[in-house]
A and B are shown apart, each in its own frame.
Chain A
């Protein structure tokens, strides 16, 4: 009987401890770790791609298919000069990558005090994304697609997991590698104190052979002020109506500059799912590179 009594006391004690722990960790399900705040970007990841910009013909590490390669090979940067393209913001899956300050704030229903949505504002071209947290359904497929798309969020532990659809066509890399308007984006926003990590996974049945994931980091900056970003298109170069700058297949003269300048096998520069994985380094060592130019070939 004594042994049983001791065991009972221990069990009760354990239960009380569990209840106390449960009570201490019992936070509302709608705001595990609030990502709201002013966030300054950090560029240690992929700096050459993000700040000076990607080089033409560099698809290395992207799980692109042949269709995406030809789209990118045909792409002419002069497209960005056309008035109708000048004020396009980055789509919500790419916007994090820009040299862009970030603000996140939450929208609360006054009566219930429940979280309705998170909103993001990014400085370059000032795109604003709404992440609905109120469980609303997706709009029908005949409604407009936008640069920021339609996003819903839910908590997965302390991670804000966001699903985005209804996007306009966008870009995976700013050298013409496309992302289609059929893509679904899964974004994971993770806050660790003063650091914010945003992981974006792109699922594109049109241009990607496998999902593509990348992360972007921010640091909390309460003193940050974001300036307005007005944009008004102008005619920079007179062109005949309807001209769309593009390279005909097999005629883009810039595609070999990247592999030549960096001593990368041209085949590797073409990208593809295989080039995402560490094992590819072994294969790289067996592949032929182009003769390195005596002087680095300028690319812009």
Chain B
């Protein structure tokens, strides 16, 4: 209003007020509509689609400090965790292969220390694609008998840690997961977990049996209070259940429940333990809880339909995910809603029909 007056147009003040209010309201509505449209478009962008983009080399890699020693890199395919300190750099996952140069450039903005360790959460290319290019730039801390026996080459390249199944898949001949030797894990584990201490904090690598795949790990940085989840938890799609690689809906739920149990939120159920998802935004426990509730409710519904003897076509027609579809559903791309429902149906049908959570109550 004041600008109009200063411009020497002494219009009737009530007219000015009405006009300003009207135009302001229109402008506000337009602005908000634009924001909502933008938001809706973001909803349509699948992380799996994004991860499969051929021009990953041109993608921008963003750095977000999470807390403590831990950073999150976004834009290179799957999210990458960087833990940095005096001992060097540790990565959880390495993104798509074509993005490796940008990932390294981002790491160098955080630390100039050597890359010592890479931990792979699972075998998919958008999470391990940069293994070969990035590992060879690093160095392993080794000495004594190891160097004495193997020679100086024992220190060349970062150690790549993963659950044993990942090495088995990557080193098998002629499979979709076959990779060059330089990308393979160098340090595998079996059983429940592997623990290490690096950059002043305990790091727990926990195996999640038969979840997203059969070789999943989640990584807990104790002092920084950050958990990297791999693709067991993502924020923009239904969970991808890779049945061909041993994934299961119950494994995903068991791990989500475990993640909730492992974490402690700060005041008002916010902050505290932070989660770096496989894809999507940085989260806290409440976000994992919303996701776990969604997956559990859909599991309960499909289990109930299976218990009633419904076929997959009948289950699909009943649309058991329809209340979550506007948020997590996809009709095109790498992981559609139908594919998710089919995976859950197949998975739950493989064993004798169990009780749904609602029946257990």
Contacts and interface: CB of A to CB of B under 8 A. Distances in A.
Q: Do A and B bind each other?
A: yes
Interface of A: 14, 18, 21-22, 25-26, 29, 65-71, 74, 79, 84-85, 87-89, 125-127, 140-147, 156-157, 161, 163, 165, 168-169, 180-184, 186, 201, 203, 205-207, 211, 231, 240-249, 251
B297 interface: yes
A150 to B, nearest CB: 12
A144 B282 contact: yes
Contact of B286 (A22, A84, A201, A240): A84
B323 A22 contact: no
A168 B268 CA distance: 13
Contact of B289 (A85, A141, A205): A85
Interface string B1-29: 11001100010000001001100100010
B323 A89 contact: no
Interface stretch (B90-98, B172-180, B187-195, B253-261): B253-261
**Closest A-B pairs by Cβ, 3 of them:** A70-B323, A244-B296, A205-B40
A184 B32 contact: yes
A205 B43 contact: yes
B43 A206 contact: yes
Interface string B21-52: 10010001001110110011011000000000
Given A14-B10, A184-B36, A206-B326, A142 B360 contact: no
A207 to B, nearest CB: 7
A142 B278 CA distance: 12
A57 to B, nearest CB: 15
Interface in B270-289: 270, 274, 280-287, 289
B357 A242 contact: yes
A182 B327 contact: yes
Contact of A88 (B17, B280, B286): B286
Contacts of B6: 22
A67 B297 contact: no
A244 B292 contact: yes
A232 B29 CA distance: 40
Nearest to A161: B28
Contacts of A241: 257, 261
A142 B282 contact: yes
Given A22-B6, A246-B300, A205 B357 contact: no
Interface in B344-361: 356-358, 360-361
Contacts of A184: 32, 35-36, 39
Given A71-B324, A142-B280, 4 more contacts: A157-B24, A165-B39, A180-B326, A248-B301
Contacts of A244: 292-293, 296-297, 300, 357
Contact of A206 (B270, B327, B356): B327
B325 interface: yes
A88 B21 CA distance: 37
A125 B261 CA distance: 23
B2 A26 contact: yes
A74 B32 CA distance: 30
Contacts of A140: 62, 64, 74
B290 A169 contact: yes
Interface in B309-361: 318, 320, 322-327, 356-358, 360-361
A89 B39 CA distance: 24
A124 to B, nearest CB: 11
Nearest to A182: B39
A210 to B, nearest CB: 11
B145 interface: no
Contacts of B40: 182, 205
B168 interface: no
B228 to A, nearest CB: 14
B269 interface: yes
Contact of A84 (B10, B289, B358): B289
A242 B253 contact: yes
B270 A68 contact: no
Contacts of B318: 249
B201 interface: no
B115 to A, nearest CB: 23
A197 B195 CA distance: 55
- Residue among A25, A161, A247, A249 with max Cβ neighbours from chain B (10 Å): A249
Nearest to B280: A142
Contacts of A203: 32-33, 35-36
B304 interface: yes
A18 B5 CA distance: 8
A156 B20 CA distance: 8
Contacts of B274: 144
B257 A157 contact: no
A79 B293 contact: yes
A247 B287 contact: no
Contact of B20 (A84, A125, A157, A207): A157
Nearest to A29: B2
Contacts of B327: 180-182, 206
A84 B290 CA distance: 10
Interface in B245-269: 253-254, 257, 260-261, 265, 268-269
Contacts of B324: 67, 71
Contact of B268 (A65, A84, A147, A243): A147
Interface string B182-225: 00000000000000000000000000000000000000000000
Contacts of B253: 242
Contacts of A163: 31-32, 35
A221 B343 CA distance: 58
Contacts of B293: 79, 244, 246
Contacts of B1: 157
A182 B10 CA distance: 43
Contact of B287 (A66, A67, A168): A168
B286 A168 contact: yes
